Amino acid sequence: MRPVDAPTLKRWINDGGELAILDAREDGEFGKSHLFWANPCGQSRAELRARALLPRKGVRIVCVDGGEGGLAVRLAGYLEGIGYAEVAVLEGGTRAWAAAGYVLFSGVNVPSKAFGEWVEHHYGTPSVDPGELHAMIEGGTDMVILDSRPMEEFHRMSIPGAIDVPGGELVYRIGEIAPDPNTTIVVNCAGRTRSIMGAESLRSAGVPNKVVALRNGTMGWELAGFSCDRGRDASFPRGTPASLGTALSRATAFAERSGVKTIDRAGLAALLADGSRTTHVLDVRDPAEYAAGHLPGSRNAPGGQLVQGTDNWVAVRGARIVLVDDTGVRARMTGGWLRQLGQWEVFVLEAGLDGPLETAPWMPECPEAAAIDAPRIAPTALAGLLEKGAARVVQLSRSIDFREAHLPGALWGVRTRLAGLAPALAGAAQVVVAAPDDAIARLAVPELQGLTKAPVAVLEGGIAAWKAAGLPLSANRRTPEDAECIDAYLRPYDRNDGVEAAMREYLSWEIDLVHEVARDGDARFGQA
């Protein structure tokens, strides 16, 4: 690895070559202050996240931390050890970046959220405030309220009368949902980005209806004194819509204006064989469709979520992105926005689902985990040990997921930072590590073996198997406390205290992003 200073990295960001900036801190730490185009790659998931974000070993990489020393160097050393050839470390981390006069950003998914604010300004996306929407509801306005988030978020809270239509589905399905052009369409999310992007997708695709975004989403709704519904599951009609022809025509025009290209299977094979460029293959359909059968090697990245959190899937500036779906509508709409957001070279794969498909979820290879031959314990056997007080569970779920569902009596921890659990493990007869995925559980075994004399085993099938066996789960909003959640950047709704103040702060932050991005100068929104 070699050191680079802040001015050098600033030049690299804009030199047109492939570049990935990986921040070695955990997600919650990253969210406090980071570079605009950086992606979090904390040590706790580095083996999986790095391989997912960086499919090409020759890509140029810069590792960053907060300047506290050590984390970026450790990540860089790991990347070199698994074969990445061009790895550097930012000298002095984010402190040096700020000292050089460059801008740092708080929050997560910052490029996508800043892009949403740019879209509103650039396209003049109209919106209504919560009071206006409430009056429309009370007055019986002919309208539909479409929530552009995934069902999990919609189920948690929604605007009364809304139905769930994730952003990538809007243009595809609007002909069935609002066939009358006189019906007003209101698009909302929790805050701003997906409300704006959903509404502007419909407008940019040429839908004739009046389309507006709900200003500030469910947060704005609650701050205005209105109540959200909870536990609803109203959703869009499944299957290929009868209005497919119209939707495809609209999406094709939008994609062509944005510079999206098409490619066939032979062309995709040629891209993947080209070792000089990074190519991501992403299936933008609904997760259930992806699970039923998808192109081998493709990752699921539902279109609306991909646009609103691009850095969850793509870290490489200058990369190529190939998008897959069944009809071409969702891929084209997603691709058009990706071109305008990050200027990636974007292709839609024609007939991408013809031929053999696979159903197994995509996972990066993780030879480090595969090499750990950890003992296994079945859920029912572990339940018996817990009933006797003969086992201690360490659960490696994300902190906010642990709060909602954890094995009874489980200790929460972040892999690579488990030393603080040593006193609680003293005297344990058996330690069992439970995690959402098997690789993370296995990787934690050596670390735990260094903290206890007890044998360490892995819960067979992980937390999903425990749930499937019908075994009990506990919940506690205060475990861990907000300040302990270093692994997740807490949204206002995730906080235990000061939720209303956090909502206002978050909405102000989103609105101000467009100005901070202009000051930073490293985004080229709209320059497809």
Percent of the chain with pLDDT strictly greater than 70: 100
Three-class DSSP category at 86? strand
Q: Inform me whether the pLDDT recorded for 232 exceeds 90.
A: yes
- Give the tokens for residue 347: 């292709």
Q: Name the packing angle between helices 193-204 and 110-123 (round to 10°).
A: 50
The predicted pLDDT at position 96 comes to: 97
Helix-then-strand count for the chain, H and E: 23, 21
**Closest C-alpha among 491, 488, 487, 485 to residue 510:** 491
pTM: 0.96
Separation between Cα atoms, residue 390 and residue 228, nearest integer Å: 44
Indicate if the pLDDT at residue 527 is higher than 90: no
Residue 514 CB partners (closer than 8 Å, separation 6+):
114, 117, 118, 121
Burial 409-422 (b: 16+ CB within 10 A, else e): ebbbbbbbebeebe
User: pLDDT at position 528, please?
Assistant: 64
- Across the chain, what does the average pLDDT equal? 97
Produce one character per residue of 128-154: b if its CB has 16 or more CB atoms within 10 Å, e if not: bebeebbebbeeeeebbbbbbbbbebb
Q: Tell me: the pLDDT tens digits for 284-324? A: 999 999 999 999 999 999 999 999 999 999 999 999 999 99
In three-state form (DSSP H/G/I as H, E/B as E, the rest C), the secondary structure along 294-306 is ECCCCEECCHHHH
Rg of the chain taking only CA atoms, in angstroms: 23
Map out the domains of the chain with their CATH numbers: 2-106 (3.40.250.10), 114-247 (3.40.250.10), 251-349 (3.40.250.10), 368-484 (3.40.250.10)
Tens digit of each residue's pLDDT (9 = 90 or more) over 54-66: 999 999 999 999 9
**8 Å CB contact between 365 and 54:** no
pLDDT tens, residue by residue, 382-396: 999 999 999 999 999
pLDDT in tens, 345-378: 999 999 999 999 999 999 999 999 999 999 999 9
Q: Report yes or no: 66 and 59 within 8 Å, Cβ to Cβ.
A: no
How many C-beta neighbours within 10 Å does residue 295 have?
A: 21
Segment 5-31 shows an average pLDDT of 97
The predicted pLDDT at position 114 comes to 97
Give residue 184's pLDDT band: very low, low, confident or very high (50, 70, 90).
Answer: very high
Mean pLDDT of 75-90: 98
For residue 82, the SS3 value is coil
pLDDT higher than 80, residue 69: no
Computed from CA positions of residues 82, 85, 86, 92, in that sequence, does the dihedral angle turn out positive or negative?
positive
Give the mean pLDDT of 455-464.
97
Q: How many CB atoms lie within 10 A of CB 491?
A: 18
Contact 99, 71 (CB under 8 A): no
DSSP letter for each residue of 433-499: EE-SSHHHHHHHHHHHHTT-SS-EEEETTHHHHHHHTT---B--TTSS-GGG-TTS---GGG-SS-H
* Predicted pLDDT of residue 408: 97
Report the DSSP pairing between strands 19-23 and 316-317.
antiparallel
Per-residue model confidence (pLDDT) at position 10: 98
**Residue that has been written with the tokens 């994300």 in this structure:** 398
**pLDDT tens-digit map of 106-164:** 999 999 999 999 999 999 999 999 999 999 999 999 999 999 999 999 999 999 999 99
Q: Are 18 and 114 in contact (CB under 8 A)?
A: no
Q: How far apart are CA 409 and CA 440, in angstroms?
A: 20
Burial degree of 268 (CB within 10 A; 0-12, 13-18, 19+):
buried
Mean pLDDT of 185-198: 98
Residue 490 CB partners (closer than 8 Å, separation 6+): 28, 400, 482
CB under 8 Å to 503, separation ≥6 — which residues? 219, 222, 223, 492
**Torsion from C-alpha of 515, 517, 519, 523, nearest 10 degrees:** -140
